[in-house]
Structure 1
Amino acid sequence: MILCVGLATVDLVYRVERVPGVDEKAQARSAEVAAGGPALNAAITAAALGAPVTLVTAIGAHPLGDLIRKDLEAHAVRLVDAAHGSEELPPVSTVIVADGTGERTIVSRNAGDRSFPVPEEGLPEAELTLVDGHHPGLAVAAARAARRLVVDAGTWRPVFADILPHADVVACSAAFRSPAALTAPDVIVTHGPGPVLWTRGGRTDRIEVPPVEAADTAGAGDAFHGALAFSLHAGQPVRDAITEAIRVAGVRVRHPGPRSWLNEL
């Protein structure tokens, strides 16, 4: 089983001709409401590829949380809700996608200052754990208990100082900036459409990314991490897992919308 621990959001997704500037208004060509968040998107990707997946996150009892729960149920992802009973609004993001380029702009609150303890029943056991650093208390507990830990290190957060020492694989973007050097056995750095850099034992290899026509880049990194976790869980060598993650992320960016691309895997 794969355990994903981190952020789940409600995403309001607008497609526009171009992203508006300051004091400008834009008429959206389409609008969708969907569940999102790095850990959630990765969990749904891994489940769509065929792995049993459990997501530990914080949603709560607010009516908007039902949208997240239904999306997870529809994609066969088991949910452990650390915010069970909370009436607070779940994390909400606004995602603006530009037609033509597929580039996205995101405004989000993420988890804010909310903090939730590990559920009384503890965390499920898993062969592989993926954490994104959101909900720090849950993330650190999951990292310490993980048999094999993959870290989605998209943006530096202080909690990573407690997570990274436990990591077997760290996958970060080129924009990631850590106060300390990354010392995990395998470090993967993505560069959007550019080559992925994989470092092991002091040696760095470049893995090329095939060019694709982008329709929607929102969640591409999450899809990459979900596919990476799936392949590592299936026993693939790291380089092969990276290649598969690149393929899956490429499928994601070629299709507009949050979920339709899963049918092409």
Structure 2
Amino acid sequence: MFVGLTTIDIQYFVDDIPIANTKVKTDMPNILVGGPATNAAVAFAYLNKTATLASPAGLNAFSSFIDQDLNSVGVDHFDLAYGQEFETILATVLTSKNGDRTIVTHNPTEVESTISPQKLIDLVKPQVLLIDGFYPEFSLDCVKICQERKIPVVADCGSWKPQFEKLLNFVDIAICSADFMPPKCKTKEELFSFMKSKNVVSVAISDGELEIEYLSNNKKGRIDVPQAKVKDTLGAGDFLHGAFCYYFLESNDFKAAMQEAAFLASFTCCFEGTRKWLNFDHNA
């Protein structure tokens, strides 16, 4: 089960990221359903044929578009804002010809969920839970319940958010970007130490095409990231997290699961947008 953000991403492809005070004409943008937890659920469903996402979508101009998209990729969606008016989180994405992207977006407002974490977990009976740090009150209840039930909890640590101070106390596995630095942490070593103080069992730090560094059960290591002909990196980190959840459930081996997930994440970078890769077999 994946708990967190669902967005509408409006993605433009440009030769280069524009400088200030310029206007760029380009082709029609891709309009995509995105968000860290949502993209992770999509990757899990690609491998598992189904996944469960809990995120607010609510009533707005994009409601049916979100429903149709998630249905088409095998994601069962529990809309935490079901029947409520809710402002969709929009993101404008500029992707340059080398695959780099710049994103402009805004933070979501807190939601009064139409289903309690307890009831949701009782219904879904998840084998693993991933949180992306958004909707912290709901997420905190979810991670506490899962810890009590010995359900593995994975945290998508893309950027530091104050709520991670509490959430990480109930997390088993943290997958961090190189930008994820808690207060007073400036190096990867300090990040590993911080996570150890939170009793996080396994920590991985991804950094684009560079090696993934990890600390798992007090053992350090590095994982090679497969090289790819990059067209677009949008969502690659999220797909890494979703694929990891699938492979970890399959093998219960942190390193092996991370290696397989890195392979799939690199594969997704070979396609423009966040949906085209779903039509291909990444093992072919």
TM-score by length of 2: 0.88
1:185-216 per-position Cα deviation (integer Å, ceiling 9, x unaligned): 10000011100011023331011112212100
> What stretches of structure 1 move > 4 A for 4+ residues in a row?
none
Counterpart position of 1:74: 72
The alpha carbon displacement at 1:51 in A equals 5.0
Pick one of 163, 171, 179 that aligns with 2:175.
Answer: 171
Other-structure match for 2:153: 149
- Determine the C-alpha separation between the residues in 2 that align with 1:254 and 1:206: 23
1:258 corresponds to which of 261, 274, 284: 274
Q: 1:93–1:110: 8 Å Cα contact kept in structure 2?
A: no
Q: Distance in 2 between matches of 1:148 and 1:51?
A: 20
Mapped partners of 1:148, 1:223: distance in 2: 18
Give, in angstroms, the shift of residue 249 of structure 1: 0.6
CA contact (8 A) 1:172 1:190 kept: yes
Check 1:42–1:233 CA distance in 2 against 1; reply closer, same or farther (3 A cut). Answer: same
- Matches of residues 1-80 of structure 1 in structure 2 within 5 Å? 3-80=1-78
**Residue 115 of structure 2: aligned partner:** 119
Structure 1 or 2: more helix by fraction: 2
Q: Deviations over 1:51-96 (max 9, x none)?
A: 5311000110112122111111001111111111222321111111
Aligned partner of 1:109 in structure 2 is 106
Instruction: Please state whether the residue corresponding to 1:226 is helix, strand or coil.
Output: helix
Q: Aligned partners of 1:98 and 1:41: how far apart in 2?
A: 21
Could you tell me which runs of 5 or more consecutive residues in structure 2 were left unpaired when the two chains were aligned. 186-193
Counterpart secondary structure, 1:107: strand
- Aligned residue for 2:81, secondary structure, equals coil
Give the % identical residues: 30
Q: Contact 2:8–2:32 at 8 Å: present in 1 too?
A: yes
Letter in 2 for 1:251: F
Q: Note the alpha carbon deviations across 1:138-172, whole angstroms, 9 max, x for none.
A: 21122112211010011111111111111111000
The whole-number CA distance in structure 1 between the counterparts of 2:102 and 2:222 is: 28
Stretches of structure 1 lacking an aligned partner (at least 5 in a row)? none
| C-alpha contact 1:44 1:75 (8 A) present in aligned 2 | yes
Aligned amino acid, residue 207 of structure 2: H
